[in-house]
Amino acid sequence: MRNDLKHISDWVSTGDRVLDLGCGDGELMQYLQNHKNTSGYGMEINPDQIVTCVARGVDVIHQDLNDSLSYLDDSSFDTVMMTQSLQQTRHPDVLLNEMVRIGKKAIITFPNFGHWTTRVYLGLKGMMPMSKTLPYRWYNTPNIHLCTFKDFEVLCKENGIRIIQRTVVNTNHEESWQIKLFPNILGQVALYHIEKETSS
């Protein structure tokens, strides 16, 4: 399993009811079911990925994340997850708020557009950057709302969302002391564990 998925599994408690938005092939959900005794299901738009999920024994619903999730009750899941998909949605701010409404806690990961290689690429070439974490050209990329870690944290603050924990990793999903020192410049992928702030 990818290292970032291992980080995520550490934030999920045994027996949690889990919703995985954009669950892909169901690898993470299968792991959580087998090792954390979780229940719940994934949501995925790609039919081929849905077939793989079913083969893995993962319950999955065909769902476009750009469609409303208002039919789901408040706090109906212990954990709502979304890995590497936020930047591909039409209204990431709306979806983020839905995640912390539906889940008691949420886990979200996304690539950092503020990484130093991206800054240098744009500065020297004057073209939209391409990298291992952003391997598309501007005209065919599924990423329509790229952001930096600072952008995301400002969005959380503006929406009353508390960051419980943050892990910043490189393209191989590994941590280092250098990344911890300068996360917004050296980090390529961030993993955030969040929840809605409660009024005191």
Q: Consecutive sets of 10 residues in the chain, 200 residues long: mean pLDDT of each?
A: 79 97 94 95 96 96 93 97 90 95 96 84 82 78 83 95 92 78 85 87
**Residue 44 three-state SS:** strand
Instruction: Identify the pLDDT of residue 200.
Output: 55
Map out the domains of the chain as residue ranges.
Answer: 3-113+145-196
Helix (H) or strand (E) holding 106: strand 103-111
Instruction: Identify the pLDDT of residue 141.
Output: 78
Closest to 197 measured CA to CA, from 105, 83, 80:
105
Q: Of the CATH numbers 3.40.50.1820, 3.10.310.30, 3.40.50.150, 1.10.10.60, which one belongs to the domain with range 3-113+145-196?
A: 3.40.50.150
- Tokens representing 187 are 């980090």
Cβ contacts of 1 within 8 Å, gap of 6 or more? 9, 27, 28, 31
**Residue 132 three-state SS:** coil
